[in-house]
Structure 1
Amino acid sequence: MGKPTGFMEYKRETTKKRDPFERTKSWQEFHILMPEPVLRQQGARCMDCGVPFCQTGTTMDGSGEIGCPVYNLIPEWNDLVYHGKWKEALERLHKTNNFPEFTGRVCPAPCEGSCTVAISDEAVSIKSIEFHIVERGFQEGWIVPQPPAKRTGKTVAVVGSGPAGLAAAAQLNKAGHTVTVFEREDRIGGLLTYGIPDVKLAYHVVERRVKILEEEGVMFKANVEIGKDIPAAQLKNDFDAVLLCTGATKPRDVEVEGRELKGIHFAMDFLTANTKSLLNSNHQDNNYISAEGKNVIVIGGGDTGVDCITTSVRHGAKSITQFDINKQKPGVRDEEKNPWPLFPIVHQVEDGQKEAQAVYGSDPRSYQVSTTKFVGDEHGNVKELHTIDVETKFDENGRKTRTPIPGTEKVWPADLVLLAVGFTGPEERIIEELSLATTARQTIEAAYGKYATSVDGVFAAGDNRRGQSLVVWAIHEGREAARECDRYLMGSSNLP
């Protein structure tokens, strides 16, 4: 590194954001670009450690994740930024990550949890530097279409245009294959477009990259649902290979009394309708589920639940409460159960929660809360929600049990309830039509690193194979599955 002592001389700084209260008045992204001198200092904090765990990209069974799943060459582009070599930094970044503009916005940055500086100080601002490298690339006009020099004559159908599908399409096209991406929604991007609020990942950011892929030769077909508009078996006949990147979109339900009441919705239905209405008409068509003036309860403590908060605040909700069935995480990592370089399991206040705190005066979360029933009014609309606190314990085999705590019963006013308790796996239509083998978790059976399903010429990658996961893991699997698909078509592959 050009500044071996930088981590001792400079304090961590991250991408600045507009004031939490002020930014709730619009749907615009709230990131503020940092000055170049500050970014160069942040790059200088990368300490030239002997083993850069930040770029390891692996998991430890039963423990957690370490480093960047796409194996970003983090120390290299940190050093290039420190030296002001932005174009070279962008080239290094694109070697491993097709879409750093996505991960630079929405990735939880497992790389930073595995940063060597983080052993005794704050981690290098890896995510912020990544975001600035790619945005600098677009500003300078360095990111341009690069179509392949020649075509192989082979055709590939990619089903699903989320991060796994887009990454796979980009790589397969780079190898010279003719790629068609099928998307059942009216816009390309999958959950990047309709599952993440526009304030976190604006559609124009997704569209910007999709246009480049189109100019490189990738063909996109929106409003086409495989298994409904086109039989899945037809893809097998029409294409030399099929790659399924359909995600794990079956929502997990809450099976308690009163679930049938009006005003109780799955989080993705709420988020998708909101973004679609926003993009179509700036909400003028009223074709969305509004939280305006309502007491909103979000059941689920994860990122999707936070996205529901982000959206409800901007609608003008009367109040917002987020239920997390788990205990509040500790302020610092447990060095025995969650040591470095594992991803740190610690308490964090996400952007949506900061906004709710700014608007309503307190953190919206309530912990160890389990819903026991929903109660409605005479018109069948939900009006209140009953809960009890629970204690979570694990037995010697790691099995989880939740025990209600007597005397902790509570009634909450609720006009809108949003269920954000995860997903149970991929939808079955394509799986059944192609007679694909599945796992005990109902995901598509396809070995990690191989991605081949039980049907010849059909591959699977992303959440439909691994279960609900991060955008960065989806990109990783899309890239790897593209390599294996290329190997299947050509006998060998030069794709990374």
Structure 2
Amino acid sequence: MGKPTGFIEYKRENPLKKDPFERTKNWQEFQLLMPEAKLRQQGARCMDCGVPFCQAGTSVPGSADIGCPVYNLIPEWNDLVYRGKWREALDRLHKTNNFPEFTGRVCPAPCEGSCTVAISDDPVTIKSIEYHIVERGFQEGWITANPPKTRTGKKVAVVGSGPAGLAAAAQLNKAGHLVTVFEREDRIGGLLTYGIPDVKLAYQIVDRRVRILEEEGIEFKPNTTVGQDITSEQLESEFDAVILCTGATKPREVEVEGRDLKGIHYAMDFLTANTKSLLNSDHKDGEFISAKDQHVIVIGGGDTGADCITTSVRHGAASITQFDINRQKGADRTADNPWPLFPYVHQIEDGHKEAFAVYGEDPRAYQLMTTKFVGDEEGNVRELHTIAVETTIGEDGVKVRTPIEGSEKVWKADLVLLAVGFTGPEQELIDQMKLETTKRQTLKADYGKYATNKEGVFAAGDNRRGQSLVVWAIHEGREAARECDRFLMGSSNLP
């Protein structure tokens, strides 16, 4: 700890970002680099606490996350940044996280919610410091390919190139195995590429890392659907082990009257088509769902819904409203959400700030449940009907939605985006491989072991744990790689 009084002397300074109104005019990333002197001050705020909960990396059943799922050595690299030892800080960062450039951009930073300074003050800017360490590494040319010196001759197939798949592939390759990654989309990256708007995580950032992984010896096969272009039988016969990192991509439905009207889309279809068209032609091909001049309703109050706002603002929507079925959270923690749990408090995301800058108001509306969609003579959605609800938790732990009498309302709606989560992984490949699933339809593979009921087949990420964070996917990909390595070699030196 370089400065024992740093957390007393310096206040938190949030990462610099471009003006919310100005940045809506393009699709460029909007986070800016901070001056080194400011970053060193922010690193000095890390207080060398007795127990660094920021790097605990655990989940409390029925509650929230505590700390960093990949066990980042946060106090160590904060101190190194304070001392100006950036190369050493990068080495510490890469010890636990294969892709800090991803988490430094899109992770909600459970580490900051568990920061000891956050008990009575603003937490250390852990996520921002992580972002600056890795970007400094790329700028200085410190991050280069480092292929393994020897090969084991063992072949491993990784199905899915999202954060779990890439992490698993990177670790297995380090162990010397021959790794092939199969991806059904035309570009590598999974949800990193097509599930997150380019303004938050640019494809060039994903591709930059993929090219390094290729130089290290990993083979990538895009446009390849396992179960169709290559059968599951071929996969199991040609490879010594398989890790399934296919995500939880089956969207949850909103089953109300009028759902079949035109203009109602799943959020991920909207986001994927937008990014694909942007990368292919800068939107000149028109192969995307446009929100231009549309009254847009986003159903779902989470991050995916906020991404839909980010995208719709840039299209030039006439108006944007985001429905959240829950009450607006308060500014402070509640009694059942104490430190060091991830804080469930009211947040204003970048998309909300942009909508406010363009339309003059926060786009969110709370405690709303959709009751029906109404269309015109041509079958296009034109109205959305809602009723306000009160949410309580029943004795069985299930949420109960009670309508509030007289709260019915009609909204203009030309484009409705369903962002209410996912119900689990797609089942086709699971059925082909005769893999066991849980009651939640996720793959049955114990946490920490990741082995399915079929020998040599492992599962990691959202298809095993359900819809979750990028950082949890990286964690599971790394751990599954270790268990796969153990299966192949009898023991493993992977962390």
Q: Which residue of 1 aligns with 2:463?
A: 464
Give the letter for the 1:312 counterpart. S
Residue deviations 1:31-53, cap 9 Å, x none? Answer: 11000000000000000100000
Q: Which residue of 1 aligns with 2:316?
A: 316
**Which stretch of structure 1 is more off in the superposition, 391-400 or 324-333?**
391-400
Residue deviations 1:230-249, cap 9 Å, x none? Answer: 11121000100000000000
Q: Which residue of 1 aligns with 2:269?
A: 269
Counterparts of 1:232 and 1:104, CA distance in 2: 35
Deviation at 1:397, TM superposition (A): 3.0
Deviation at 1:63, TM superposition (A): 1.9
Q: Which residue of 1 aligns with 2:473?
A: 474
Counterparts of 1:396 and 1:9, CA distance in 2: 48
Counterparts of 2:57 and 2:466, CA distance in 1: 18
SS of match in other structure, 1:32: coil
Residue deviations 1:186-236, cap 9 Å, x none? Answer: 000000000000000000000000000000000000000011111112100
Deviation at 1:395, TM superposition (A): 2.1
Counterparts of 1:134 and 1:98, CA distance in 2: 11
Q: Which residue of 2 aligns with 1:176?
A: 176
Q: Which residue of 2 aligns with 1:339?
A: 338
Counterparts of 1:414 and 1:79, CA distance in 2: 51
Counterparts of 1:136 and 1:293, CA distance in 2: 41
Give the letter for the 1:49 counterpart. C
Counterparts of 1:414 and 1:399, CA distance in 2: 31
SS of match in other structure, 1:211: helix
Say yes or no: does 1:93 pair with 2:108: no
Q: Which residue of 2 aligns with 1:491?
A: 490
State how 1:52-131 maps to structure 2 within 5 Å.
Answer: 52-131=52-131
Say yes or no: does 1:413 pair with 2:412: yes
Q: Which residue of 2 aligns with 1:372?
A: 371
Give the letter for the 1:357 counterpart. F
Counterparts of 1:330 and 1:238, CA distance in 2: 54
Q: Which residue of 2 aligns with 1:132?
A: 132
Q: Which residue of 2 aligns with 1:325?
A: 325
Percent of aligned pairs with the same residue? Answer: 79
Deviation at 1:64, TM superposition (A): 1.2
Deviation at 1:398, TM superposition (A): 1.8
Q: Which residue of 2 aligns with 1:34?
A: 34
Counterparts of 2:431 and 2:394, CA distance in 1: 37
Deviation at 1:14, TM superposition (A): 2.0
SS of match in other structure, 1:54: helix
Residue deviations 1:425-460, cap 9 Å, x none? Answer: 000111001000000000000000000000010000
Deviation at 1:17, TM superposition (A): 0.3
Q: Which residue of 1 aligns with 2:347?
A: 348
Q: Which residue of 2 aligns with 1:155?
A: 155
Q: Which residue of 2 aligns with 1:204?
A: 204
- Runs of 4+ aligned residues of structure 1 deviating over 3 Å after TM superposition are none
Counterparts of 2:48 and 2:261, CA distance in 1: 58
Give the letter for the 1:202 counterpart. A
State how 1:429-440 maps to structure 2 within 5 Å.
Answer: 429-440=428-439
Residue deviations 1:304-349, cap 9 Å, x none? Answer: 0000000000000000000000000111111x20000000000000
SS of match in other structure, 2:374: strand
Residue deviations 1:388-443, cap 9 Å, x none? Answer: 00000112332210011110000000000000000000001110010000000000
Residue deviations 1:278-304, cap 9 Å, x none? Answer: 000000000000000000000000000
Give the letter for the 1:347 counterpart. H
SS of match in other structure, 2:104: helix
Q: Which residue of 1 aligns with 2:389?
A: 390
Q: How many residues are matched? A: 495
Give the letter for the 1:469 counterpart. S
Say yes or no: does 1:293 pair with 2:293: yes
Q: Which residue of 2 aligns with 1:306?
A: 306
Gaps of 5+ in 2: none
Counterparts of 1:75 and 1:394, CA distance in 2: 38
Give the letter for the 2:211 counterpart. K
Gaps of 5+ in 1: none
Give the letter for the 1:244 counterpart. L
Counterparts of 1:15 and 1:122, CA distance in 2: 14
Counterparts of 2:360 and 2:14, CA distance in 1: 25
Say yes or no: does 1:448 pair with 2:421: no
Give the letter for the 2:469 counterpart. L
Q: Which residue of 2 aligns with 1:3?
A: 3
Deviation at 1:62, TM superposition (A): 1.6
State how 1:182-197 maps to structure 2 within 5 Å.
Answer: 182-197=182-197
Counterparts of 1:474 and 1:126, CA distance in 2: 19
Residue deviations 1:86-125, cap 9 Å, x none? Answer: 0000000000000000000000000000000000000000
Residue deviations 1:327-376, cap 9 Å, x none? Answer: 00111111x20000000000000000100010000000000000000000
- TM-score if structure 1 supplies the norm length? 0.99
Q: Which residue of 1 aligns with 2:425?
A: 426
Q: Which residue of 2 aligns with 1:399?
A: 398
Give the letter for the 1:46 counterpart. C
SS of match in other structure, 2:285: coil
Counterparts of 1:468 and 1:63, CA distance in 2: 15
State how 1:183-262 maps to structure 2 within 5 Å.
Answer: 183-262=183-262
Counterparts of 1:490 and 1:446, CA distance in 2: 20
Counterparts of 1:404 and 1:150, CA distance in 2: 64
Counterparts of 1:197 and 1:395, CA distance in 2: 37
**Which stretch of structure 1 is more off in the superposition, 208-217 or 228-237?**
228-237
SS of match in other structure, 1:276: helix
SS of match in other structure, 1:464: helix
Deviation at 1:11, TM superposition (A): 0.5
Deviation at 1:61, TM superposition (A): 1.4
SS of match in other structure, 1:31: coil
Give the letter for the 1:306 counterpart. A
SS of match in other structure, 1:474: helix
